[in-house]
Structure 1
Amino acid sequence: MISLEFLLTSLVVVLIPGTGVLYTVATGLFVGKRASVFAALGCTLGIIPALLASALGLAAIFHTSALAFQLVKYAGAAYLLYLAWQMWRSSTPLAVAGDKQTTGYGGIVAKGFLLNILNPKLSIFFLAFLPQFLPASSSAVLSNMLLLGGIFMLMTLGVFILYGLLSGCFSAFIVKSQRASVIIQKGFAGSFAALGLKLALTERG
């Protein structure tokens, strides 16, 4: 069941830059390596609701209920736009993930969690992705889906931590250079805004 095809496909999916990668990299750049690990943890924990919804068949609601999909979609888009606005208006780059001295690592985890839990496409992705790797004769669909989902989460955590640590290597330079930090901050703000608008315009697949 845990085939090489599943591992390679999952790795490709995890490596593709998205909101979670963007958030983790931004945290590594502006707050530091340790904070990026907490950001990666938060994004990974945000996968759990989507995984459970898919494994229990609840994700099918998004296919049949336009209202449910729209509500979650617009909530996620609004949160992304809020992060973009927060970064753009701030005079300090630490706004991207919150100053670890005031927000704390718990706040960094919470933001990463919200980024994924407010993405309705995630549960639909699991519903379409995981069943492809289940044995046709399997009688333990729920446990098998949870196992595959757990492996996917571990890969996500590992890759995101790697992204965060690599970006954290440049943290000292970014913090010391006010011009570079402002330019990169604006870039991240624009990226979050673009992702928010993309999510808002997303239709059910």
Structure 2
Amino acid sequence: MDAQLVAFAGVAAGMVAMPGADFAVVVRNALASRRAGVTCAIGVAGGLLVHTALAVAGVAAVLAAVPTLFRALQIVGGGYVLYLGYRALRSAARQRPGAGAPGDSGNSGDSRDSRYSGDSRDARGEPPASVGSLRQGFLTNALNPKAPITFLSVLPQFVPAGSPAMPRTLLLASIIVALALVWFPVVALLVDRLGRWLRRPRTARAIEGVTGGALSVLGLVLLIEAALA
């Protein structure tokens, strides 16, 4: 067995499972419905696929070498995460303590209130909620400028000396994406499984406020780091 590969799988699992903006946005969408949560999780994995592809291609080295480009991407990513946080906090503030939990209409899980995913407008011919969830997951991850730098610094450490770099790096990148495709849908399904309790008015409002606060802080940190760089 390849000991380096096993070690990398452990490191990659820790990187993927570490709570952050991806985790928060998946939980928030999963509170709306199982479909929204799983779709958002797939979007996060899609963002990781972009980052790993950039790392394999070496494009991430450009971000490291050109501070202005990195800072611009950091501002865009921070702004988007901050926007998601603002929407979550606004939604929490609008929920009345005595009102029913979001989506408590007696219908199936996939027809719950879709304000978490933010794009359930198919009645007007616009993109359905699942499209909005997919986009949120993808953009939250893809606009994180630190991810390609992280992958660029970590992946080479697990390429054995003398072996071809491209096939090995592709394998390592595939492991990261595969782990994300397992972890984030599991998180979404777990949140949905606990949905009856999590969607109680006070609980849902608290979770919405906490995730909104977490996303807002993460977005502000990115923007502050960009401003101070």
What TM-score, normalized by structure 2, do the two folds share? 0.81
Deviation at residue 143 of structure 1 after TM alignment: 2.7
Query: Structure 2 counterpart of 1:79, which letter?
Result: Y
Q: Write the mapping of 1:13-162 to structure 2, written as runs, cut at 5 A.
A: 13-28=15-30, 30-90=31-91, 91=94, 94-98=114-118, 100=120, 102=122, 103-139=128-164, 141-162=165-186
2: distance between equivalents of 1:82 and 1:198?
Answer: 13
Query: Structure 2 counterpart of 1:146, which letter?
Result: L
Deviation at residue 98 of structure 1 after TM alignment: 2.5
Deviation at residue 117 of structure 1 after TM alignment: 0.9
Overall identity of the aligned pairs, in %: 29
Matched residue of 1:183: which SS? helix
Alpha-carbon RMSD across the aligned residues, in angstroms, is: 2.1
Query: Structure 1 counterpart of 2:72, which letter?
Result: L
Deviation at residue 174 of structure 1 after TM alignment: 3.4
Deviation at residue 11 of structure 1 after TM alignment: 1.3
- Are 1:174 and 2:176 counterparts? no
Matched residue of 2:84: which SS? helix
1:184 to 178, 183, 207: 207
Deviation at residue 170 of structure 1 after TM alignment: 2.2
Deviation at residue 202 of structure 1 after TM alignment: 3.4
1: distance between equivalents of 2:76 and 2:161?
Answer: 37
1: distance between equivalents of 2:15 and 2:119?
Answer: 30
Rg (Cα) greater in structure: 2
* Contact 2:8-2:158 within 8 A present in 1 as well: yes
Matched residue of 1:3: which SS? helix
Query: Structure 2 counterpart of 1:16, which letter?
Result: M
Q: What is the CA deviation profile of residues 127-165 of structure 1, one whole-angstrom value per residue up to 9, with x for unaligned ones?
A: 0111111121122x2232122101111111101111111
Q: What is the CA deviation profile of residues 34-53 of structure 1, one whole-angstrom value per residue up to 9, with x for unaligned ones?
A: 32111110000011221121
2: distance between equivalents of 1:24 and 1:101?
Answer: 20
2: distance between equivalents of 1:100 and 1:163?
Answer: 22
Query: Structure 2 counterpart of 1:147, which letter?
Result: L
2: distance between equivalents of 1:70 and 1:40?
Answer: 26
Query: Structure 2 counterpart of 1:116, which letter?
Result: N
* Contact 1:87-1:95 within 8 A present in 2 as well: no
Per the alignment, residue 196 of structure 1 pairs with: 219
* Contact 1:31-1:171 within 8 A present in 2 as well: no
2: distance between equivalents of 1:24 and 1:62?
Answer: 27
Stretches of structure 1 lacking an aligned partner (at least 5 in a row): none
Could you tell which deviates more after superposition, 8-17 or 194-203?
194-203
Deviation at residue 100 of structure 1 after TM alignment: 4.9
Matched residue of 1:202: which SS? helix
Matched residue of 1:98: which SS? coil
Deviation at residue 20 of structure 1 after TM alignment: 0.9
